[in-house]
Structure 1
């Protein structure tokens, strides 16, 4: 016996299968063509400017659940909310391109190849490795639908960024905030 005619089931035009493998590129193209991030920045901002400073993830591999759900997604929600509340809320993503995670991964590559790199070779390979994963992570974050100025991120390995760090460090030294002590911590 067929009971389907006795049920009050909702009617919808939505397909029963999402077909995400086919639909995802279409959705991404729609968002890119719409230029949502640019449009949000162009709209009037009667409440002024809201800046959310992004503590960047390491560019040392694919994103993981912590990078996405504890870092980028909450920031995206906050920035979008502030934008809807009348603020101009730019979001400039960034990456930490220095540090042990990147150096450890590159060192493992050299160990697998049974090669002992010079300091220059190690630094160059770390830079290449970090740049590669900046691009990988950028694409992954964009696939998650996170809004931002993805064409102009800040990278801690850029010469301008490194020069600014040295300049600020110099200011701290001149101000007497940096000193050599017996037990500084």
Structure 2
């Protein structure tokens, strides 16, 4: 019995190690990652991001996305900024939007990291941060990894009704619980359900 117990413990440790290893893999391919020096400088002084982008905005969203997708170990620094009293509301919104984009991409290749981002956002215990993340992803419950919706599917904050609750574009085909991104999308067909009735919209 003790041998079986030891084997179970060993198996659990191995699984945990694999999950941890998966979560440290970069979302971006090497040719898209930020230079190592940029990442090192950010990790050494995360608050410099606030000085670099004093009004938040699209450029800050892009930098946060690139940091998170280039090196998952930047996540603690980014989350720390969300807890920093010096972070303005506009900056907070930009940081959350950038992290939402990273989570959306990671959901396709590294579910462990995508879940880590959601958990970190929820762990801020800041209603404004959580609400901003929900709005950016089109998700209602950010702490959960499950996301299927039945009739009258999930809806994002001000987003479209459908099976995945997309708020910012993207197709509903093969959707995951992280909602849409702030990316421009090429024309595509959308389908979902409203009140049990199937809805299909095709581009003109």
Q: Fold conserved (TM > 0.5)?
A: no
Bigger CA radius of gyration: 1
Higher RCO, 1 vs 2 (CA within 8 Å, ≥6 residues apart): 1
Under a length normalisation based on structure 1, what TM-score does the superposition of the two structures give?
0.25
